[in-house]
Amino acid sequence: RKEVEQDPGPFNVPEGATVAFNCTYSNSASQSFFWYRQDCRKEPKLLMSVYSSGNEDGRFTAQLNRASQYISLLIRDSKLSDSATYLCVEDNAGKSTFGDGTTLTVKP
């Protein structure tokens, strides 16, 4: 079983839609979690950190459920510019493990 698993999609949604991605992890000792965004053929960039209490940044909301070992990312009011691959990342003692990514395409 992979350490970090994501639904690869692709998710194709119209502008303005709400879309949610889930990610599961297998290492219960993992300390920190993140969502990174990667545009086609570019380097990944941090989208947001994920906290147990949940955190929100504009249209983006991230949640962590330690008991079930999954994290989620909710995007509200999708924009064309949200089209990208979203990578779920767990971090343990300075080493990061990346999921394979979920591809989102937002269409007009």
Partner 1 sequence: NAGVTQTPKFQVLKTGQSMTLQCAQDMNHNSMYWYRQDPGMGLRLIYYSASEGTTDKGEVPNGYNVSRLNKREFSLRLESAAPSQTSVYFCASRREGIREQYFGPGTRLTVT
Q: By the criterion CB under 8 A, which residues form the site for partner 1? A: 4, 8, 32, 34, 41-46, 49, 87, 91, 94-101
- Smaller CB separation from partner 1, 36 or 82: 36
Nearest distance from residue 108's CB to partner 1, in Å? 26
Please say whether the beta carbons of 102 and 19 come within 8 A. no
Using DSSP, state whether 96 is helix, strand or coil: strand
Q: Which is nearer to partner 1, 4 or 71 (CB)?
A: 4
Report, in Å, the least distance between residue 105 CB and partner 1. Answer: 15
- Based on CB atoms, which residue is closest to partner 1, 97 or 105? 97
Going along the chain, which residue ranges are E strands? 4-6, 11-14, 19-25, 32-38, 45-50, 55-57, 60-65, 70-75, 84-92, 95-98, 102-107
